[in-house]
Structure 1
Amino acid sequence: MTNEKNGIKAWRTLSSEYIVRRPWLTARRDSVELPNGNVYDEYYVLEYPDWVNMVSITDDGQMIIERQWRQAIGEISSEIPAGVIEKGEQPLAAAQRELAEETGFTGGVWTELMTIAPNSSTMNNRCHCFLAEGVTKTEGQHLDATEDLEVLLKSKKEVFDMLMQGEFHQAMMVAPLYKYFLMNVIER
């Protein structure tokens, strides 16, 4: 594969070996040949399923924010609802399911905001980001065994302020929030 704009060429995978294959962690070591002929025997790739997240706005104009503990960085994290796309599931269906499971909100009008790569240098998955407008609370939470989260309803101004003050730490959450606010200038 060549990028015609600047001549960047794809690396050639010579071999792959799986190091770990667990439900939430799959890691492989590739041996790759670079376009200049150099061979690099230890290129590590983390394999994950694709993810979804959603900027969610209730029928009365509030934004849905979650707070939960994140073990890897050792902090309580402010986030937008998100989750994993199950095998065979379409991104939109996964986003709607995750919002219902985590928050109890359903319905509304859904549009795709963007698809981004969480970390294209070492991870093979994508994150599909949606905007859900006019969602309503129709059920209780149905959390997974490892989920323990608080659901908050915030005004758009409050969420914008949180974003500007650096209260969202996950890049996959920051990108769709920025895009939403750039597309929809809020009253301040």
Structure 2
Amino acid sequence: MEKDDRKWEIIESEYLIRRPWLTARRDRVKLPTGVEIPEYYILEYPDWVNVIAITKEGKFVLVRQYRHGIKETRYEICAGVCETGEEPLLSAQRELYEETGYGNGNWTKLMTVSANASTMTNITHCYLATEVERISTQHLEETEDLTVHLLDEEEVKALLLNDEVKQSLMAAPLWKYFALYSRL
């Protein structure tokens, strides 16, 4: 395997916007070949987490919510932001608890992915939580509007096979789960 990392040199950076949910900068970069790109745009985000949560009874804990970007309401696995200084596993456990009221269980890291490695700085830590149980009610933020749904394995497979899971950061770990632990 090739070991050359082929990093680009950042000649200049300028922040265009810095808001809580959007930070964008414009870099002027030089490629290893010597070619310069005068405007390369980068979106900075904190790391994210998501969780495939399965109850003791074998039900998948999903949420359903409206996504304004695509103007559709969809089923999703629980997800959220890693707070500053918070370990990804703790972020994932917190998000599952806040969004659904579910917790406990057995937790393993399933994968780490990037939404768009070419223009976004963050990664998403994906977890599998089995044997979870309802331990509370939802603890939603003011801007969150989602409902909790328990689906069986066949229903989740059908969502995937019918392209009903639109968020790639959620489809990828679900596909990996089914590739590793089930037959499609």
Question: Could you state the TM-score of these two structures normalised by the residue count of structure 2?
Answer: 0.97
CA drift at 1:52: 0.2
CA drift at 1:72: 1.1
1:150-171 residue CA offsets vs partner (Å, 9 max, x unmatched): 1100001110111111110011
Check if 1:122 corresponds to 2:119.
Answer: yes
**Structure 1 counterpart SS, 2:163:** coil
- Runs of 4 or more off by more than 4 Å in structure 1? none
- Mean alpha-carbon deviation: is it higher for 108-117 or for 32-41? 32-41
1:74 maps to a residue whose letter is K
CA drift at 1:6: 7.1
Which of residues 3, 25, 28 is equivalent to 2:25? 28
1:84-130 residue CA offsets vs partner (Å, 9 max, x unmatched): 00000000000000000000001000000000011111100000000
Matches within 5 A, 1:101-120: 101-120=98-117
Alignment correspondent of 1:41: 38
**Structure 1 counterpart SS, 2:61:** strand
Paired residue total: 184
Distance in 2 (alpha carbons) for counterparts of 1:9 and 1:136: 47
* Structure 2 unmatched runs, 5+: none
Which of residues 125, 146, 155 is equivalent to 1:149? 146
Distance in 2 (alpha carbons) for counterparts of 1:7 and 1:127: 25
Distance in 1 (alpha carbons) for counterparts of 2:86 and 2:143: 21
* Structure 1 unmatched runs, 5+: none
CA drift at 1:39: 1.2
Alignment correspondent of 1:135: 132
Q: CA RMSD in A?
A: 1.2
Distance in 2 (alpha carbons) for counterparts of 1:142 and 1:175: 27
Q: 1:6 to 1:87 in 2, by over 3 A?
A: closer
